A and B are shown apart, each in its own frame.
Chain A
């Protein structure tokens, strides 16, 4: 029976392709400890090579990593004065704003001489850079990752240099059904693909995917964690995974288990253990990504042993993802424009793609200047 619809039936086709990334966004460029006032760090963020350093008073700086003069990488140069970089080739100097302050063998400085200085904010143990229009760089747009350095949370993380487009990592994290198949020895369990989940777009533009597994045997990783808090516990658990996506590429996953039937699904997590898997993925090139992650927990804060065990455990688990992501990227490259079939489990990843596509379309669209007035007195 034909039905009138407000919106035509629309198939959200997903293709095997390389997804671009918004430039007007904050991306984690480095861990706070990686960038110092002693040496320059070269890192490509959103296809832009950058030279990262700190001024003598500790302020982080990100300059385009190519001298204005002959494109020599500034990251091969050295830090001089309070906030300057000296080009390794001909000694031109640039300050933290990217302005040239010295040219060799002349008394003046060419007024055009500068390199881009990208906005940088230090927050949540990361340095965030904004590769796009600097005037739009609002620090309030940095996604909430407060667990990273909040006194009620403890933990640590690492960086994966992933050989795939950032989108594939977002897909991976938005659907944790794969844990059953990729991570069978640690966090996977059959109930992952047997339990239902809900996916919703929130009012603030974030996306949530929520899954509860009630009254299940904990997989090895969680059996150990709950015993860290409740020594000797070997009973069943209620397990949760609540995935929060913040555009363009940050995913914080509220995970945990509680003694079965003690009210965790209803909000009482007091007889459980709670972790947050913090992930922020920075496109490096179209086919490589800097994947910053950490595992934070809100119990046994005093135990450095647990911090190290969790970091190393998650590192092994993510190593399994890395292998899959690299292989998937190779298959995509071998089948460009292949139309994917999508499954019910892809809802989270599909929201991410739609949000990113909208952001990209907005960046490609003409600015508000589009409605330029007609030339006065035109002839």
Chain B
């Protein structure tokens, strides 16, 4: 939504902090600039003071009304510190956020909707389910997680969707087969007008996208949003930029881009979620393997192995215990 794209930063007050599931905090924020209600698919950008300085994190709006916004935050042990700071909040605290911003809008023209939530990605999907049910649309939701106790909003979704909710908990041996969304779309009344909305970790999305494309469904009907660092492989690794004499360690709580900026590497960036491609650098040499977490590079570009999207992707050890990369500005 072009008209809503300008972020306005203002102070918000924490009204309450509760628990949505194990390790998932439900934070209710209040601010005059939140407006009446946020459309499904919107998120807040939140400025958090972390050890190395302020950082910006995005959280989907799970519910909103009259100046209040709820976000649900999973505490990620390997996180970059954002989720820990959010979990440390209590009523009366203040923090600086944008108004709800739209980056994952729900289209109204589809003949049917397949929703796919992986883990905390359900936060973006839940308001979509609410809106689609309220307007009487054909909708089904595949919701995957590790364990039911760690999956928020199960009760609300079950009440909303009944048998149209399909829960896959890996603790019960159930997973989403990446071909399922395409199959559900193909089996719907008008497959070429069926849309799927996926929010989850990048590997799941990659697999779903390949299956969608092999089913010859229109690529624009597969909508997705990712969350940075979703795979949890936040180990440290070293990075060198020989042309600039940089040799540094990327800590477990920071991104490769954070480390490069800290070391004074003049790298451009914008979205910080692996979409825009501005922060891409050339990979001259790598020990271990590049763990691509972006949606900017194509499969072919990834296979070539010459580029990395520094805002979300990392280097992990493969076999041996060390991981490092030698990069160059493009």
A residues contacting B by CB (< 8 A) are: 48, 64, 66, 68, 71, 95, 97-101, 106-112, 114-117, 119, 133-137, 364-367, 369-370, 372, 374-379
Residue B68 at the chain A interface, CB threshold 8 Å:
yes
Residue from A97, A99, A367, A375 within 8 A of B28 (CB atoms): A375
Please name all residues of chain A whose beta carbon is closer than 8 Å to the beta carbon of B220 when the two chains form the complex: 95, 97, 99-101
- B40 CB, min distance to chain A CBs, angstroms: 9
In the complex, what distance in Å separates the CA atom of A199 from the CA atom of B132?
40
Q: A135 touches which one: B36, B103, B108 (CB < 8 A)?
A: B108
Given contacts A108-B298, A114-B105, contact A135 B131 (CB under 8 A): yes
Q: State which of B17-25, B46-54, B77-85 sits at the interface with chain A.
A: B17-25
Measured CB to CB, the nearest residue on chain B to A48 is B3
Cβ contact within 8 Å between A375 and B2:
no
Closest-CB distance, A88 to chain B (whole angstroms): 16
Interface residues of B in 218-261 (CB under 8 A from A): 219-220, 223-226
A374 — which chain B residues lie within 8 A by C-beta? 16, 18
Quick check: B104 and A112 within 8 Å, CB to CB? yes
Q: Bits for B105-133, please: 1 = Cβ < 8 Å to A, else 0.
A: 11111000000000000000000000110
* Bound: A374/B225 CA distance, A: 28
Q: Which of A99, A110, A375, A376 contacts B275 (CB 8 A)?
A: A110
List of A residues within 8 angstroms of B88 by Cβ: none
The one of B2, B65, B131, B297 that contacts A68, using a Cβ cutoff of 8 Å: B2
- Which 3 pairs of residues, A with B, have the shortest CB-CB distance? A134-B108, A375-B18, A107-B298
Closest to B19 in A: A377
Alpha-carbon distance between A107 and B295 when the two chains are bound, in angstroms = 10
Q: Which residues of B (64-82) have their CB < 8 Å from a CB of A?
A: 64-66, 68, 70
Residue ID in chain B nearest A105 by CB atoms: B277
| Distance from A44 Cβ to chain B, minimum over Cβ atoms (Å) | 13
Residues of B within 8 Å of A64, CB to CB, are: 1-3
A111-B226, A378-B28 given; 11 more Cβ-contact pairs under 8 Å: A108-B297, A110-B275, A110-B277, A111-B225, A111-B295, A114-B105, A116-B2, A370-B66, A372-B68, A378-B91, A379-B16
Say yes or no: B18 contacts A378, CB within 8 Å. yes
Chain B residues lying within 8 Å of A111, measured Cβ to Cβ, are 104, 223-226, 275, 295
Q: Could you name 20 residue pairs across A and B whose Cβ atoms are closer than 8 Å?
A: A64-B3, A71-B2, A97-B220, A107-B300, A109-B219, A110-B295, A111-B223, A115-B2, A116-B3, A116-B105, A119-B108, A119-B109, A134-B107, A135-B134, A135-B137, A137-B108, A369-B63, A372-B63, A376-B20, A378-B16
Given A111-B224, A369-B37, A97 contacting B109 (CB threshold 8 A):
yes
Q: List the A residue with the shortest CB-CB distance to B294.
A: A108
Size of the B side of the interface (Cβ < 8 Å), in residues, is: 49
Cβ-defined partner of A66 (8 Å) among B2, B108, B226, B298: B2
Out of B36, B70, B109, B297, which one reaches A364, CB within 8 Å?
Answer: B36
Contact in complex: B135, A108 (CB < 8 Å): no
B276 within 8 A of A: yes
B282 contacts partner chain A, Cβ-Cβ < 8 Å: no
CA distance A378 to B70 in the complex (A): 12
Contact indicator A108/B295 (Cβ below 8 Å):
yes
Task: For the complex, give the distance between the alpha carbons of A137 and B108 in Å.
Answer: 9
Which residue of chain A has its CB nearest to the CB of B21?
A376
Complex Cα distance, B1 from A136, in Å, reads 17
**A116 to B, closest residue via Cβ:** B1
Min C-beta distance of A31 to chain B, whole Å: 23
Q: Complex: how many Å from CA A108 to CA B63?
A: 31
* Residue of A with least CB distance to B108: A134
Residue of A nearest to B225 (CB): A111
User: A68 — which chain B residues lie within 8 A by C-beta?
Assistant: 2
Residues of A close to B223: CB separation below 8 A: 111
Task: Provide the residues of chain B in CB contact with A378, threshold 8 Å.
Answer: 16-18, 28, 91
Contact of A366 among B2, B66, B91 (CB under 8 A): B66
> Would you call B301 an interface residue if the criterion is a C-beta within 8 Å of the partner chain's C-beta atoms?
yes
In the complex, what residue of chain A is closest to B104 when comparing beta carbons? Answer: A112
Q: In the complex, are the beta carbons of B296 and A110 less than 8 A apart?
A: yes
Which residue of the partner chain A has the closest CB to B26? A375
Closest residue on chain A to residue B155 by CB atoms: A376
- What residues of A have a CB within 8 angstroms of the CB of B226 in the complex? 111
Residue on B nearest A130 in the bound complex, by CB: B108
Residues of B within 8 A of A133 (CB): 39
Residues of A with C-beta under 8 A to B2: 64, 66, 68, 71, 115-116
With A101-B220, A111-B224: A367-B37 Cβ-Cβ less than 8 Å: yes
B94 interfacial by beta-carbon distance below 8 Å: no
Q: Is B326 at the interface (CB under 8 A from chain A)?
A: no
Given that A97-B107, A366-B37, A372-B68 are known contacts, is A135 also in contact with B135, CB under 8 Å in the complex?
yes
In the complex, what residues of A have CB within 8 A of residue B271's CB? 110, 112
Q: Nearest Cβ in chain B — how far from A342, in angstroms?
A: 31
The answer to whether A367 and B36 touch across the interface, beta carbons within 8 angstroms, is yes
Contact check: which of B26, B63, B224, B297 meets A376 at CB < 8 Å?
B26
